């Protein structure tokens, strides 16, 4: 899919171009237009103009729900194209795109079409004596008004899933959207624009501008005074930069940021299930998912067995995908070297695989299991965002919680135990936004999704997304 901007209903490629490189073998896949400040301004202007029509008007929920369903149907109709585009950009296993990325994209739109009803919460008021002005009964109801122009800035790891996870509720609430996808993965964003164009949404309701972040399209968009809200997923440092850039306009933000997710494996756990789950949570998509585990804490009686079995599973992995770029590959390898320098024992991996084929020109790294580092080590405290975890023992429940919570991040955690009293005692004390017990990445799109501390601001999912992407308005009518 040739990457193009989509502005005010028109596909265009003006601006300088930059190469799109395959992470699988390092070959050039095509050229991507770099949006200039003028292109970004055109997109925001088009989005603003789209709000003067019926889109977003009160009572428009049924039409918007129908539009979201047409988008979902359009994604399904071009399913194979989306799979090809996502696999080409990311190098991920095809099965992942077929079972996760593209089904979730259509699912994101359907989830918010189903959720979207004009839900005036009605209540009758008993005036507060001495405080309410006037007397008698009043009818209160709440309506939701769209925010206006929403900037969506998305990352390269789950390009289609994560952009549509914001686009769907933003459109559901009647906003107009300007999407700036990652420069690493532009293709499915362009294809989505075609689907939305074919779904008949008014021109300007959805726009795409490609390009880089700092000092480029991402920064132009998030600092634009015409933007009414920013929904961003990416690194915590980038979130801080966007916050600074948007501060002058007091632009509201929804941030899904970095993580250093812990797993707590208690000795009473079903160790086979804990092992399977931890292999998935550490190495799915080569660790390039924000929910992936990078710190594993195992109760001491089963520590040696668990480390040995986890390392064996890591060594046996095959068919795993590459890092998204040479730069990210080098970052992950630098942490492998740093961990060694900090005294780690590398019980599996730690280097670059030799395939003996074209993949040797790509950006692969070995799935890696580390032990023996202090909790103060940089490899234990900093997000690596690759197929690597550090495993350490604990002796008590309180120690496990202290270790898990000793992090600047707080996104997601897994807890493995057969003792459900322990599960319900421990889970609420883990300082993350999401705690999976005896499972990982089991998702219900109505639940609150997001992180605490440096892992994010706000929650997405179900009503939580509607709360961010719309303004509730109280109407109080004297009876
Ligand atoms: N919490 C979550 O749900 C979640 C989900 C996926 C990824 N992530 C995080 O994202 C990171 C990996 O993704 P990434 O490398 O694409 O993140 P990134 O922060 O480098 O880039 C994300 C997006 O922001 C843009 N950008 C970069 N600098 C910018 C700036 N100064 N102003 C405006 N836009 C800017 C980029 O062009 C890209 O589109 C990891 O830290 C991962 O933990 C978090
Ligand atoms: O890389 C981060 C993955 C985020 C996943 C979701 O936002 C989701 O499942 O809704």
CA of 337 to the centre of ligand 1 (A): 24
Q: Candidates 443, 451, 456, 468: which one to mutate for ligand 2, based on the most atoms within 8 Å of Cβ?
A: 443
Q: Strand 138-146 relative to strand 121-125: parallel, antiparallel, unpaired?
A: antiparallel
Residue 452 pairs in a beta bridge with 410
Are residues 200 and 239 both part of a single domain?
yes
Ligand 1 contacts (CB < 6 A) are: 153-157, 162, 180, 182-183, 212-214, 218-219, 222, 233-235, 238, 241-242, 256-259, 290, 383, 385, 411, 451, 456
Average pLDDT estimate for 365-380? 98
- The residue nearest atom 9 of ligand 2, judged by CA position, is 443
CA of 290 relative to ligand 2 center, distance in Å:
7
* pLDDT over 60 (residue 120): no
Give yes or no for residue 38 having a pLDDT over 70.
Answer: yes
Q: Is the pLDDT of residue 122 over 60?
A: no
Determine the Cα angle at 66 with ends 64 and 67, to 5°: 60
| Any domain includes 446 | no
Instruction: Look at residue 329 in the predicted model and tell me its pLDDT.
Output: 98
The ligand whose atoms approach the alpha carbon of 441 most closely is 2
- Residue 304 maps to a domain: yes
* Domain span at 377: 261-437
Q: Residues 64, 155: one domain?
A: yes
Any idea what the CATH number is for the domain that residue 379 is in?
3.40.309.10
Q: Output the CA 154–ligand 2 centroid distance in Å.
A: 11
The answer to whether residues 172 and 116 touch, using CB atoms and an 8 Å cutoff, is: yes
What is the whole-number distance in angstroms between the Cα of residue 211 and the centre of ligand 1? 13
Answer yes or no: do 205 and 246 share one domain.
yes
Q: Do 72 and 195 fall into the same domain?
A: yes
| Distance between CA atoms of residues 413 and 430, nearest Å | 8
Quote the pLDDT of residue 213.
98
**CA nearest 157: which of 233, 54, 221, 231?**
233
Together in a domain, 46 and 111: yes
| 290 and 399 fall within a common domain | yes
pLDDT at 1: 81
Residue by residue, DSSP assigns 275-302 as HHHHHHHHHGGGG-STT-EEEEEEEGGG
Q: What is the pLDDT of residue 458?
A: 98
Answer for the pair 47, 204: CB distance below 8 angstroms, yes or no: yes
Q: Tell me which residue has its CA closest to atom 35 in ligand 1.
A: 213
Is this complex's ipTM strictly greater than 0.85?
yes
Give a yes or no: residue 367 inside a domain. Answer: yes
256 among known catalytic residues: yes
Average pLDDT over residues 100-115: 94
| Two structure tokens written together for 193 | 């624009």
Residue with tokens 């890591």, as numbered in its chain: 314
| Residue 396's pLDDT band (cuts 50, 70, 90) | very high
- Cβ atoms of 109 and 448 closer than 8 Å: no
Q: Is residue 185 part of a domain?
A: yes
Q: Which ligand is nearest to the CA of 260?
A: 1
**Residues 46 and 164 occupy one common structural domain:** yes
Give the number of the ligand closest to the Cα of residue 235: 1
User: What integer is the mean pLDDT of 109-137?
Assistant: 68
Terminal alpha carbon distance of the chain: 59
- Strand partners for 402: none
Would 449 be classed as within a structural domain? no
Q: What integer is the mean pLDDT of 449-473?
A: 96
Evaluate whether residue 424 is within a structural domain: yes
Considering the domain architecture, whether residues 234 and 353 belong to the same structural domain is answered as no
Residues 285 and 236 in one domain: no
Helices (H), 51-158: 61-77, 79-90, 94-96, 102-115
pLDDT bin (cut points 50, 70, 90) of residue 127 is low
CATH number at residue 14: 3.40.605.10
Q: Report the distance separating Cα 144 and Cα 393, nearest Å.
A: 50
Q: How many distinct structural domains can be found in the chain?
A: 2
Read off the tokens for 349: 């991996």
User: Which atom of ligand 2 sits closest to the CA of residue 441?
Assistant: 9
What is the distance between the alpha carbons of residues 169 and 162, in angstroms, rounded to a whole number?
12
360 and 397 within one domain: yes
Query: Residue 113: what are its φ and ψ, rounded to 5°?
Result: -65, -40
Q: What is the pTM of this model?
A: 0.94
Same domain, 287 and 238: no
Q: What is the mean pLDDT of the chain?
A: 95
| Structural domain includes residue 209 | yes
- What's the pLDDT score for residue 435? 98
* CA 236 to ligand 1: nearest atom: 41
Q: Is the CB of 283 under 6 A from ligand 2?
A: no
Residue 402 has pLDDT above 70, yes or no: yes
Q: Are residues 126 and 230 in the same domain?
A: yes
Evaluate if residue 121 carries a pLDDT over 70: no
191 is a domain residue: yes
H or E stretch at 241: helix 236-247
């Amino acid at each position: 899919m040739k990457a193009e901007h989509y502005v005010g209903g028109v596909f265009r490629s003006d601006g300088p171009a930059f190469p799109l490189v395959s992470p699988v073998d390092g070959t050039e896949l095509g050229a991507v237009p770099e949006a200039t400040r003028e292109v970004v301004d055109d997109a925001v202007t088009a989005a603003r103009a789209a709000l003067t029509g019926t889109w977003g008007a009160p009572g428009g929920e049924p039409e918007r729900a129908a539009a979201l369903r047409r988008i979902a149907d359009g994604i399904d109709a071009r399913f194979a194209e989306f799979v090809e585009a996502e696999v080409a950009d990311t190098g991920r296993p095809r099965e992942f795109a077929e079972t996760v990325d593209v089904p979730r994209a259509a699912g994101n739109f359907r989830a918010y079409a189903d959720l979207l009803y004009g839900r005036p919460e009605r209540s009758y008021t008993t005036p507060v004596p001495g405080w309410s002005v006037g007397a008698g009964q009043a009818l209160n109801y709440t309506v939701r008004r769209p925010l206006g122009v929403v900037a969506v800035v998305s990352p390269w790891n789950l390009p289609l899933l994560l952009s549509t996870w914001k686009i769907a509720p933003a459109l559901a609430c009647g906003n107009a959207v300007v999407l700036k996808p990652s420069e690493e993965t532009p293709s499915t964003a362009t294809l989505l624009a075609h689907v939305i164009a074919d779904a008949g949404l008014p021109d300007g309701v959805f726009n795409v501008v490609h390009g880089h972040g700092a000092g480029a399209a991402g920064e132009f968009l998030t600092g634009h005074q015409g933007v009414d809200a920013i929904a961003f997923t990416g690194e915590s440092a980038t979130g801080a930069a966007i916050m600074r850039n948007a501060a002058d306009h007091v632009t509201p933000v929804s941030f899904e940021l970095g993580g250093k997710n812990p797993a707590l494996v208690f000795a009473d756990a079903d160790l086979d299930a804990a092992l399977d789950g931890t292999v998935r949570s550490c190495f799915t998509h080569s660790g390039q998912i924000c929910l992936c585990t990078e710190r594993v804490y195992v109760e001491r009686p089963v520590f040696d067995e668990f480390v040995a079995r986890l390392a064996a599973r890591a060594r046996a992995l095959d068919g795993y995908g590459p890092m998204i770029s040479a730069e990210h590959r080098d970052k992950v390898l630098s942490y492998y070297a740093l961990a060694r320098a900090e005294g780690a024992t590398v019980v599996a991996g730690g280097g670059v695989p030799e395939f003996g084929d074209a993949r040797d020109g790509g950006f692969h790294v070995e799935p890696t299991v580390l032990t023996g580092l202090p909790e103060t080590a940089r490899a234990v405290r900093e997000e690596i965002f690759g197929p690597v975890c550090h495993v350490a023992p604990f002796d008590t429940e309180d120690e496990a919680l202290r270790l898990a919570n000793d992090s600047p991040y707080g996104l997601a955690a897994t807890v493995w135990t057969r003792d459900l009293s322990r599960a319900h005692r421990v889970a609420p004390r883990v300082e993350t936004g999401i705690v999976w017990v005896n499972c990982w990445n089991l998702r219900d799109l109505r639940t609150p999704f997001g992180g605490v501390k440096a892992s994010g601001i706000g929650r997405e999912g179900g009503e939580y997304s509607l709360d961010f992407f719309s303004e509730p308005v109280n109407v109080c009518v004297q009876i």
